[in-house]
Structure 1
Amino acid sequence: MGREWKRLARAIESTRTARNLTQVALAQKAGVSESTIQNLESGAERTRVPASLHKVERALGWKAGSGERVLDGGDPEIEEESAAAPSDLPLRIVQELQDGPLLDTKVLDLSPLGSHARMIVVVKGDPDATPEQIRNDLLAWAKAQRHLENLTVDDETDETTN
C-alpha cells in the first residue's frame, strides 16, 4: 500500500486553517521555509518523509508521528493543551503564548488598588531574535515592569493627597 501524500496535504491544510494560520505563519512557527509548507500542502508524491514534517507536526499541535499516521491512512493525534495555554483563553492569546521563546513572567497583585485580582504578564520574544535583540527586549521589559510596579505606589499617593 502506497503512502497517501494528498491525504497528508489535506490534513495539514485543514489543521492550519482551523488554527487561523497562514502558510507563512505556520512556517515561522515550525521554523521552516514557506516553500516547505507549500510543498507539503501540494500533496506531491515523495520517496521518503521529509525531516521538516516533524517540525510542522509540533507547530500544528499534533503528537509526534502523526504525519506518518496520516500517510498510512490514519488521523493525526492532537497534543493535549498545555497548562500554559488553557482552553478558556481567547485564541489570539493562546497563539501568542505558543509563539517565540519565553523571556519572563510576572504576577502583579492588584490588592493595593482595591482589587482581589492579579495581573499576569507573559513576555515572549521573537522566534528569530538574535542574542542582542533578546537582551534589548529584556531591558525594555525591565523598564515597563518598573512602571507597572510603580502604578500602585503612584495611585496610593494620589488618593492620600486628594
Structure 2
Amino acid sequence: MGRDWKRLAEAIRTAREERNLTQVEVADAADVSESTVQNLESGIDRTRLPPSLAKIEPVIGWAPGSGKTVLEGGEPTRVPMAVVDAAAPAARDNQAAVSDLPLRIVQELADGPLLDTQVMDLTPLGSSARMIVVVKGETDASPEQIRRDLLAWARAQERLQTLGDDDDPTALVNEG
C-alpha cells in the first residue's frame, strides 16, 4: 500500500485546528517556516518523509512517528494536552538549548544540509542516557554524494544498533 499524503495533510490540519493553532503558531513552535506547515497540509505526494514532520508532531499533539503511521493508513498516537503544553516552551526556546552546546558542535550543526537524525536509547549498554546522532552533508554535495552519505549512515546506524547485542554491555562501554 502506498503512502497517503492527502490523508496525512488532513490529519495534520485537523490536529492543528483541534488545538486552535494557526499555521504560523505551529511553525513558530516547531521552529520551521510557515510554508513548511502549508506544504505538509497541502497533501502533495512526496518521495520521502520530510524531517519537518517530526518537528511538528509534538506541537500538534502527536507522539513521535505518528505522521508515518498516518501515511501508512494508521492513526496517530495522541499525546495528552498537558504534555504538549509543557513541551511547547521548550520548542520555542531552541536558542537556549543551542547555547548550551560546545561551539564546535554548534558550528557543525550550522554547516551543510541535514541528512538524518537518530536518538538512540543506551539502555542495552547499561545506561539510562540517550545518544543523539545528527548526520550532516556537505554544503554543495551532489545528489549522488548525498545518496552515498546516506548509505554510509545506514551502515553505521546498523552497527550502532547492534552495540547492545553483546552479552556483556560493560565491555563495549569500557573499550573506548
Tell me the equivalent position of 1:19: 19
Tell me the equivalent position of 2:89: 100
Q: Are the aligned partners of 2:59 and 2:88 in contact in 1 as well (CA < 8 Å)?
A: no
* Change beyond 3 A, Cα 1:101–1:46: closer
Unpaired runs of 5+ residues, structure 2, are 98-176
* Change beyond 3 A, Cα 1:21–1:81: closer
Tell me the equivalent position of 2:118: none
Tell me the equivalent position of 1:56: 56
Tell me the equivalent position of 1:34: 34
- For the residues of structure 2 that align with 1:23 and 1:41, how far apart are their CA atoms? 9
Q: Are the aligned partners of 2:26 and 2:56 in contact in 1 as well (CA < 8 Å)?
A: yes
- For the residues of structure 2 that align with 1:65 and 1:99, how far apart are their CA atoms? 18
1:76 aligns with 2:76: yes
Deviations 1:76-106 (A, max 9, x none): 0012454xx6xxxxxxxx85x543249xxxx
Give the superposition deviation at 1:5: 0.1
Deviations 1:142-161 (A, max 9, x none): xxxxxxxxxxxxxxxxxxxx
Q: TM-score, normalising length from structure 2? A: 0.49
- Which residue identity is paired with 1:13? R
- For the residues of structure 1 that align with 2:16 and 2:32, how far apart are their CA atoms? 15
- Which residue identity is paired with 1:15? A
Pairwise CA RMSD of aligned residues? Answer: 2.4
* Change beyond 3 A, Cα 1:101–1:45: closer
Deviations 1:46-67 (A, max 9, x none): 0000011001111112111100
1:127 aligns with 2:127: no
| CA radius of gyration, larger in | 1
Secondary structure at the aligned position of 2:89 is classed as coil
Deviations 1:129-149 (A, max 9, x none): 679xxxxxxxxxxxxxxxxxx
- Which residue identity is paired with 1:20? N
- For the residues of structure 2 that align with 1:51 and 1:11, how far apart are their CA atoms? 17
Aligned-pair identity in percent equals 51
Q: TM-score, normalising length from structure 1? A: 0.53
